[in-house]
A and B are shown apart, each in its own frame.
Chain A
Amino acid sequence: MGRWGVASSQVAVCTDLGLIHLADCLGSPARADRWLAEFLGAVPVVERIVLDVASVSFVCPYGAVLLLSVCQHLARERGRPVQLVGLQDHVHAYLRRLDFFETGAGAVVGTGRLPWGAQLPRSVASLNVLELTVVRSLREVYEATARALLIVKTWLGLDVGVAHRVACCIAEACENVIEHSQSSGVVVAQKYEYAGWTEVQLAIADLGIGIRQSLHRAYAGLEETPAGWIKRAVAGLSSRPERGGLGLGEIRHLATQSGGSLLIRSGAGSAVYTPGHTRYANLVDLSGLPGTQLAITLRDGGGAGRRAGVQ
């Protein structure tokens, strides 16, 4: 045996270092979520974690925030940053375009240099992508919301009212990160064009107390499964019932009405809402990622939002 003792087909460990091979698992919210469900139970108890991402060929916004959240969580537990190795050039370039390594400074480092010319062009006010943006303050939430609204309005051809409701939802989801999770969070958005439709994928994540703990403080007598708490939150249960806001239910409504979807993961529970279909799931291993992670997909079926020449 060489340097590594192979613990499973994906995980190799030596005394202080664990190497974990990732499959091509970050390309869609559903795949990224499945990966997370399997991944956390398989992380070896060693000081240094190295993620081999050579098989990762595509990263969606939710994949990026999950990867970032996992790295931040592992780095927080171990006091050392997680190392990414084997990055394909285009994946490496995209993560840099998203400011992934800047946002995850101290929690994640990428190895290997990006070849000259592989870097993706960027505009400070891109209408295609909102880089991973940390939201710690109200001002940061306000500015991230304005950028996301611009992307949504530009590409999705939504009714002005719907676009504004989307903006309010983004703002309130980010405000929840600050208020309820007692943590900072990140938000990211990316526009995609397919043959028959355009969609904007948004992802919002934090490593705070999560939905269960937030609601359990207000409803101590209530017992639920992790996914059950998510279901209740989407149905309108709030840790501050005297207050009014849009909440997760409105995000679900807007996303599914557009033909898109909403995925919510919080602790060991997850919920996926698509038009006409809902799925709840609980992890067997309850040592899930802390906090709450959202993947919101908004669609424009007619492609009415396309604008030629927008960079």
Chain B
Amino acid sequence: MVVEVGIQPITFALSELFAALDVPGPDLLLRAYGERALPVLEEKLLSVPVGRALVLSFAGVRIMSPSFADATIVALLRGLREGRYGERFLILADPDEETLVSLEGTFERRQHRRLKLAVVLRCRGQDRLFGPVEDNLREAWQMVAERGTLTTRELAETLGLELNTASMRLIKLHGLGLLARREVVGIPGRQHLYTLPK
């Protein structure tokens, strides 16, 4: 097992958008404002080194309307899923319950449901999954969260799975933008080491 320490999160405070949008705050409302905010957020995301995550902090934001979330958070998640921003990740930090309800509703809307959008939530320093993620994937993700890093072999051994099955679960989580990975060469040969996005 590899323990990784000392990586500082790269955070963007969504409250900084108030100035960019020329609104007094503390709410992020309206699709058109979301569409104006998207290039700002895309620039921030693309400035993050490959393999790292942009942490969007909700501190100081009272309401994010579903249409604003649709034009920003959902657009970023779709872009990440489609590979438009390279191997980068998104983490939502400390949204309040109401914003989560709003986001959940947005993820669940007809036009997004088939995408099964999900994201890593960071609440008071603890990471968890948010969105429709299958139970077996959720279990694998949780193991990564608890151990820090995980390989296919470790997942297979711990859960008594075939290597192919374990590999598929981790690959799916990586494809959903919920796990980062890098290739390492060790005694068992070349393998992928999965971690939470940082």
* Interface pair A245/B23, CB less than 8 Å apart: no
The contact size tier of chain A is 20 to 34
Given A138-B32, A168-B63, A172-B67, 12 other A-B residues pairs in contact with their CB atoms under 8 A? A138-B30, A142-B27, A142-B33, A146-B24, A164-B62, A164-B98, A167-B27, A171-B67, A172-B66, A179-B31, A241-B111, A244-B66
The CA-CA distance from A244 to B103 in the complex, in Å, is 11
6 closest A-B pairs by CB: A168-B65, A244-B109, A244-B70, A245-B67, A171-B29, A161-B98
A160 part of interface (Cβ distance < 8 Å): yes
The CA-CA distance from A111 to B67 in the complex, in Å, is 44
Q: Which residue of A lies closest to B99 (CB)?
A: A164
Cβ contacts under 8 Å, A13 to chain B? none
* Interface pair A244/B74, CB less than 8 Å apart: yes
B63 contact from A139, A164, A241, Cβ within 8 A: A164
A33 part of interface (Cβ distance < 8 Å): no
Q: What are 22 A-B interface contacts by the 8 Å CB criterion?
A: A138-B32, A139-B22, A139-B23, A142-B24, A142-B27, A142-B33, A143-B24, A145-B29, A161-B97, A165-B98, A165-B102, A167-B63, A168-B63, A168-B102, A171-B30, A172-B67, A175-B30, A175-B31, A175-B67, A243-B67, A244-B67, A244-B70
Residue of B30, B74, B97 with highest tally of chain A CB at under 10 A: B30
The interface size of chain B toward A, counting residues with CB under 8 Å, comes to: 25
Q: How far is the CB of B30 from chain A (nearest CB, A)?
A: 5
* Interface pair B98/A160, CB less than 8 Å apart: yes
Cβ contacts under 8 Å, A175 to chain B? 30-32, 67
B-side interface mostly: helix
B168 part of interface (Cβ distance < 8 Å): no
Q: Write the residues of chain B forming the contact surface with A, with a CB cutoff of 8 angstroms.
A: 22-24, 27, 29-33, 62-63, 65-67, 70, 74, 97-98, 101-102, 106, 109-112
A285 part of interface (Cβ distance < 8 Å): no
Residue of A171, A178, A245, A246 with highest tally of chain B CB at under 10 A: A245
Cβ contacts under 8 Å, A242 to chain B? 111
Residue of B29, B31, B110 with highest tally of chain A CB at under 10 A: B29
Cβ contacts under 8 Å, B65 to chain A? 167-168, 171-172, 246
Q: How far is the CB of A39 from chain B (nearest CB, A)?
A: 34
Q: How far is the CB of A152 from chain B (nearest CB, A)?
A: 12
**Which residues of A198-253 have CB atoms within 8 Å of chain B's CB atoms?**
236, 241-246
Cβ contacts under 8 Å, B106 to chain A? 244
**Which residues of A94-145 have CB atoms within 8 Å of chain B's CB atoms?**
138-139, 141-143, 145
* Interface pair A161/B101, CB less than 8 Å apart: yes
The CA-CA distance from A245 to B112 in the complex, in Å, is 12
Cβ contacts under 8 Å, A161 to chain B? 97-98, 101
Cβ contacts under 8 Å, A179 to chain B? 31-32
Residue of A160, A161, A167 with highest tally of chain B CB at under 10 A: A161
Cβ contacts under 8 Å, A243 to chain B? 31, 67, 70, 111
Cβ contacts under 8 Å, B98 to chain A? 160-161, 164-165
Cβ contacts under 8 Å, A178 to chain B? 32
**A139-B23, A168-B66, A172-B67 known; A244+B32 contact, CB < 8 A:** no
Q: Which residue of B lies closest to A142 (CB)?
A: B23
What 1/0 flags go to A1-13 for Cβ under 8 Å of B? 0000000000000
The CA-CA distance from A245 to B70 in the complex, in Å, is 8
The CA-CA distance from A165 to B100 in the complex, in Å, is 12
What 1/0 flags go to A21-59 for Cβ under 8 Å of B? 000000000000000000000000000000000000000
The CA-CA distance from A243 to B27 in the complex, in Å, is 20
The CA-CA distance from A244 to B68 in the complex, in Å, is 9
Q: How far is the CB of A147 from chain B (nearest CB, A)?
A: 12
**A139-B23, A246-B66 known; A168+B31 contact, CB < 8 A:** no
